[in-house]
Structure 1
Amino acid sequence: MSRNLFVTGTGTEIGKTYVAGLLVKTLHDAGLDVAYYKAAMSGNDRRADGSLIPGDALFVKEFAGITQSMESMCPYVYEHAVSPHLASRLEGNPVRMEVVEKAFREVSAEHDYVVVEGSGGILCPLGYDEERIQLEDVVHRLRLPSVIVADAGLGTINGVVLTYEYMRQKGLPMRGILFNHYHEGDLMEEDNRNMCEEMTGLPVLSCIVKGDKTLAGITAEQVAALFS
């Protein structure tokens, strides 16, 4: 079975997929057997034949250069760019925990490391009408440690600390924070980094600049050590 790591964020459009791709690429480039998994993806385009393209999975696959099939990366793919619980209400095929867990176990049986990406922030509901499933339920069920992806800019202290406190209260282990959209030398962003570390006790593992193809300040060995 694999060692695993969950990637959550302080909100949607924060860059979780990009950071997940960087994590996968870092391990893959180091010669490790790594895979990607996401329980539910919303906001996907259709192919000419009408089937949906799992966009996040496609990005990670191409960005990291892994050969894993996209079909194994995500059991639930929706067209509408809304929370999965609402997308399934509009499109059918509601998320079931047993399906999420089965698909994850199949991936983890085939690979040494699995990066698991969440949908939106940690409070995003995956299912509601038929089976009430929060992202935290998936993290608990799969026994995943987490990293928090946050924007380096204005407002991030509030988002990081609220996410941290919620996850701490729910008993979800956290390994650290990854700052995205970072500008080196920016006084406010440097202070954001220091304050987030001070107020949560979590380390900022890497500060990521737009267009980065590697994770700054952290080695592949250190990335691998985040997984359990």
Structure 2
Amino acid sequence: MSKGIFVTGTGTDTGKTYITGLLLKKMKESGYSCAYYKAAMSGNERDSNGVLIPGDAFHVKTVSKIDQPLEAMCPYVYETAVSPHLASRIEGFPLEMDIVKENYLRLIEKYDIIVAEGSGGILCPLRYDDEKIFLEDVINLLGLPCIIVADAGLGTINSVVLTVSYMKSRNIPIKGIILNRFHNGDVMEEDNKEMCEALTGIPVITCIGDNYTDLDISGEDIASLCK
């Protein structure tokens, strides 16, 4: 049976896509058949033919070198660089949970492990009209445990503790935290790591520095986090 993990973050621009690419790269190199999935993606650009390209998916595919077709990675792709709920209000084509599930089920029939990525932070609205859908609804629909990506710098204790507290209150399983833009030897960032673990009870499974091209955890270790 296929397994998976969901990558969320403490907010926008914490490096979820960057980390997701490295997770998939490591697992592919370890021999796993793996795929990427993101329910909704906004802020995308068009190619020379005017076709809208899912930028996060393209980055992940390029970094990880997985063989999954780009068009199978994300069912909802928007051009406007705003939250998906507003992008769909501007452009049309609002997210439907049946389509999200249908596309995900196609992947689990074909691949051993799926790494799903969220949009923005845990409270990101994906649709907000006559129907209200938030990121946590997609996590629950897919039935996946989570990894939280956070920036290692100033303010991360607050953002990590608030994110973990909210997710725990909603019974969303959390497997670990990854700190991005981490600098070994930086007193504040080393303390941030310790405090995030102490205040949440969630382990920091790895720390990633600027421009890393690999993870210091094994593909097997990553797979063990999946459900």
1:57-68 paired onto structure 2 within 5 Å? 57-68=57-68
- What's the counterpart of residue 133 of structure 2? 133
- What's the counterpart of residue 109 of structure 1? 109
- What's the counterpart of residue 159 of structure 1? 159
> What SS does the aligned partner of 1:36 have?
strand
Question: What is the letter of the counterpart of residue 31 of structure 1?
Answer: G
Give 5+ residue unaligned stretches, structure 2: none
Rounded to whole Å, the distance in 2 between the matches of 1:157 and 1:27 is: 29
- What's the counterpart of residue 207 of structure 2? 207
Question: What is the letter of the counterpart of residue 3 of structure 1?
Answer: K
Q: CA shift at 1:15, angstroms?
A: 0.3
Question: What is the letter of the counterpart of residue 53 of structure 2?
Answer: I
Cα-to-partner distance string for 1:151-171 (whole Å, 9 max, x where unaligned) = 000000000000000000000
Is 1:72 matched up with 2:62? Answer: no
> What SS does the aligned partner of 2:52 have?
coil
Q: CA shift at 1:2, angstroms?
A: 1.4
> What SS does the aligned partner of 2:6 have?
strand
- What's the counterpart of residue 96 of structure 2? 96
- What's the counterpart of residue 227 of structure 1? 226
Rounded to whole Å, the distance in 2 between the matches of 1:49 and 1:68 is: 22
Give 5+ residue unaligned stretches, structure 1: none
Residues paired across the two proteins, number: 227
What is the TM-score when the length of structure 2 is the normalising length?
Answer: 0.98
Q: CA shift at 1:214, angstroms?
A: 1.2
Cα-to-partner distance string for 1:107-132 (whole Å, 9 max, x where unaligned) = 11110000000000000010111421
Q: CA shift at 1:7, angstroms?
A: 0.2
> What SS does the aligned partner of 1:94 have?
coil
Structure 1 stretches of 4+ with a deviation exceeding 4 A read none
Question: What is the letter of the counterpart of residue 223 of structure 1?
Answer: I
Rounded to whole Å, the distance in 1 between the matches of 2:137 and 2:105 is: 16
- What's the counterpart of residue 50 of structure 2? 50
Rounded to whole Å, the distance in 2 between the matches of 1:153 and 1:17 is: 18
Rounded to whole Å, the distance in 1 between the matches of 2:219 and 2:141 is: 27
Rounded to whole Å, the distance in 2 between the matches of 1:99 and 1:132 is: 15
What is the TM-score when the length of structure 1 is the normalising length?
Answer: 0.98
Is the Cα contact below 8 Å between 1:96 and 1:131 reproduced in 2? no
Rounded to whole Å, the distance in 2 between the matches of 1:53 and 1:2 is: 27
Rounded to whole Å, the distance in 1 between the matches of 2:162 and 2:143 is: 22
Question: What is the letter of the counterpart of residue 60 of structure 2?
Answer: V
Is the Cα contact below 8 Å between 1:95 and 1:131 reproduced in 2? no
Q: CA shift at 1:50, angstroms?
A: 1.7
| Alignment root-mean-square deviation, CA | 0.7
Is 1:150 matched up with 2:150? Answer: yes
Question: What is the letter of the counterpart of residue 220 of structure 2?
Answer: E
Q: CA shift at 1:49, angstroms?
A: 2.1
Rounded to whole Å, the distance in 2 between the matches of 1:131 and 1:97 is: 10
* Identical positions, percent: 56
